[in-house]
Amino acid sequence: NSERQQPYWLLPSAPLLPLLISLERGMYCEEIVCVSVACALNLGGLLSVVLAEWYPWRNWNTWLGHTCMVLLSVWFFMGVYCYYRAVTTEPGRVPAGWRPDSTEEEMETVKKEAMHAHDKGRAKKKPPPVSLTKLRYCCKCSAFKPPRAHHCSDCERCVLRMDHHCPWIGNCVGYYNHKYFVLFLFYSSTSLIAGTIVHGYGLVSYMTWEVDSPYTAFHPILMIVGITFMIPLAIGIASLLAWQLSLVWWNMTSIEEMYHERLEHLARREGKAYFFPYDLGIAQNFITFFGRDPKQWFLPTQPQPGGGTHFRLNPHLAPHDA
C-alpha cells in the first residue's frame, strides 16, 4: 500500500505533519478532527510551558532548569514522533496468498462453516470463539485469517494482531504500530505530568516573588489554563497507558481481552483450568512487545521479527485448549 510508505526522515517531529498525511490518505471526517485535536494538543502543551516559564523562571539558568527543559523537550518530541509513526505506519496487512498450516479438508470445512454463518446473518452477532487459536476464515476478505488477526470494518480488511481501530490516530493499532502507540501514550503522559509540575512550580514562584518579578499578568493566566487542560489529559492518557501496559503484561490485545474473559468464565463453569494461549510469562511477554535490546525499549523501533502471522504459544497450554 503505497500511501503508507511515508518518508520518515521528512520533519518527523512536525506536529501538523500527521494531519497532512491523514488528509492525503482520505480519512473519515471524525478521524481528521481527532488527529487535528491531537496535533493541536501536542503543540499547545509545549508552547504553554515555554511561553509561561522559559523566561520568567529564575532557575532555568541552573543545572536543574537545564535538565528539566531538556527532558521536557525530549519527551515532547519523542511523543510527537511516536504519534507520527503510529499514524503513518501500516498496522499489518495479511500477506497476499497466505495459507495456514492446515490440511485442505480442514480449510474447506472452516470456510464452509464461516460462509454458512455469514449467509444466515449470524456473523453480525459475533459469538465468543471456542478457542483463540482455532483456524478462521474471513468472508469479507475471502481469505483465511492468520492467528490473532481480525477484520476492521473501518479499514475494510483484516489487520495482523489487531488491538483496536483508533480514531485519534486515524489508523488501526496492529502488529507493526502497536509499540509506537504505547510509546506515544508513555511520552505524552510523561510530558503532560512534567509540564503540570513545571506550571505548578511557576505559579508558586509567581505568588512568592517579592521584588523585581519578571512575570506579567499574562503568565499566571497561561499557567492556570495550562494546568486546567494538562491535569485531565494526563489522567486520561496515563489511564489508557496503564491499561495498555496491563495488556502487554499478558501479551494480549484489547480484542483478545474480551474473548479471554468469556473463555475463562466458560472454563471455570466447567471446572477446567484456562490458560491464555499467548501468555509466555511476564519477562517474555515484555521482550516480545518491546524487543530484546534494552536500549530499544523506549525507542520507536520495529517489533520482533516474525511477520505477525506466527506466534509462540503458552507452554502450559493443553492440546484441547489450543
Q: Is the dihedral of CA 212, 214, 219, 224 positive or negative?
A: negative
Q: In this structure, what C-alpha cell is assigned to residue 242? A: 496503564
Residue 36's contacts (CB-CB under 8 Å, 6 or more residues apart) are 19
Count of C-beta atoms within a 10 Å radius of residue 249: 13
Tell me the residue ranges of DSSP E strands in 167-269: 171-173
Which of these, 72, 47, 79, 77, lies nearest to 188 by C-alpha position? 79
How many angstroms from the chain centroid is the CA of residue 133? 23
Which of these, 63, 52, 71, 74, lies nearest to 202 by C-alpha position? 52
3-state secondary structure of 31: helix
How many angstroms from the chain centroid is the CA of residue 140? 26
**Active centre residues (catalytic):** 166
Q: What number of residues does the chain have?
A: 322
Answer yes or no: are the C-beta atoms of 312 and 280 closer than 8 Å.
yes
Q: Rounded CA gap, 193 and 286, in Å?
A: 24
Which of these, 13, 21, 3, lies nearest to 80 by C-alpha position? 13
Count of C-beta atoms within a 10 Å radius of residue 113: 12
Q: Rounded CA gap, 32 and 131, in Å?
A: 37
Answer yes or no: are the C-beta atoms of 131 and 145 closer than 8 Å.
no
